[in-house]
């Protein structure tokens, strides 16, 4: 009997305020594991964000244009609801340290209980990106320091233009 192979779609959700080289590394690796990865900016995050959602989306688009089988989007509401809408059965999250793990495990188990059909895949950061966060990128940029080791060029230029400061 012929079987039609179901497309394996994953969502990589987050604030991406702004996207960093750590995020991009996770996305790049995830894109090799799935048929399609949608990197999705959460709009109604509790975190106070600095960069408007549309700009965050555009920066990601620019930064990942060479990574195949990826898409960029934004969404409201529950991540698992969004995943279902997109036909995705997997969520991607990155882990930097034990401190990430505690929160991520809770989130993943909450999602598991709401949506048992959707699983979370954790990818461990490369050591060189371990300390990179959106907050660090904004903080360092706000003092006029070079952030090109931490963030893609489009983010470097964007923060120079806007001289935005903030923490996440």
Active site residues: 23, 47, 96, 134
Q: Which of 40, 51, 133, 137 binds ligand ADP (CB under 6 A)?
A: 133
Q: HSE of 102 in the Cβ direction (CA atoms, 13 Å)?
A: 3
Q: Dihedral (C-alpha) 22, 86, 73, 146: value to the nearest 10 degrees?
A: 0
Residue 94 or 152 with smaller CB distance to ligand ADP: 94
- Say how many residues touch ligand ADP, by CB under 6 A: 18
Distance, in Å, from the CA atom of 8 to the CA atom of 166, rounded to the nearest integer, reads: 36
Give the residue with the Cβ less far from ligand ADP, 3 or 46.
46
How far apart CA 135 and CA 67 sit, in angstroms, is 24
Minimal distance in Å, beta carbon 14 to ligand ADP? 3
How deeply is 91 buried, as exposed, middle or buried, from its count of CB atoms within 10 A (0-12, 13-18, 19+)? buried
> How do beta strands 119-124 and 90-95 pair?
parallel
Q: Is 125 in the site for ligand ADP (CB under 6 A)?
A: yes
Gap between the Cα atoms of 27 and 11, Å rounded: 10
User: Is residue 15 part of the contact set for ligand ADP (CB under 6 A)?
Assistant: yes
- CA-based angle 137:142:147, to the nearest 5? 40
Residue whose CB is nearest to ligand ADP in the complex, by number:
22
Can residue 31 be called a binding residue for ligand ADP (CB under 6 A)? no
CB nearer to ligand ADP: pick between 82 and 129: 129
132 in contact with ligand ADP (CB under 6 A): yes
Site for ligand ADP in 48-67 (CB under 6 A): none
Give contact residues for ligand ADP (rule: CB under 6 A): 14-16, 20, 22-23, 26, 45, 47, 93-94, 96, 100, 125, 129, 132-134
């Amino acid at each position: 009997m012929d079987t039609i192979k179901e497309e394996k779609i994953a969502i990589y959700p987050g604030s991406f305020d702004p996207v960093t080289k750590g995020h991009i590394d996770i996305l790049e690796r995830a894109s090799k594991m799935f048929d399609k990865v949608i990197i999705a900016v959460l709009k109604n995050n509790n975190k106070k964000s600095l960069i408007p959602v549309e700009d965050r989306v555009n920066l990601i688009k620019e930064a990942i244009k060479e990574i195949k089988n990826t898409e960029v989007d934004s969404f409201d509401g529950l991540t698992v609801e969004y995943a279902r809408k997109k036909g995705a059965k997997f969520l991607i999250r990155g882990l930097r340290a034990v401190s990430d793990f505690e929160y991520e495990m809770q989130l993943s188990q909450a999602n598991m209980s709401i949506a048992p059909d959707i699983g979370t895949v954790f990818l461990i950061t490369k050591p060189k990106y371990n300390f990179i966060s959106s907050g660090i990128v904004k903080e360092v940029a706000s003092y006029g320091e070079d952030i090109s080791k931490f963030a893609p060029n489009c983010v470097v230029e964007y923060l120079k233009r806007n001289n935005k400061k903030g923490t996440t």
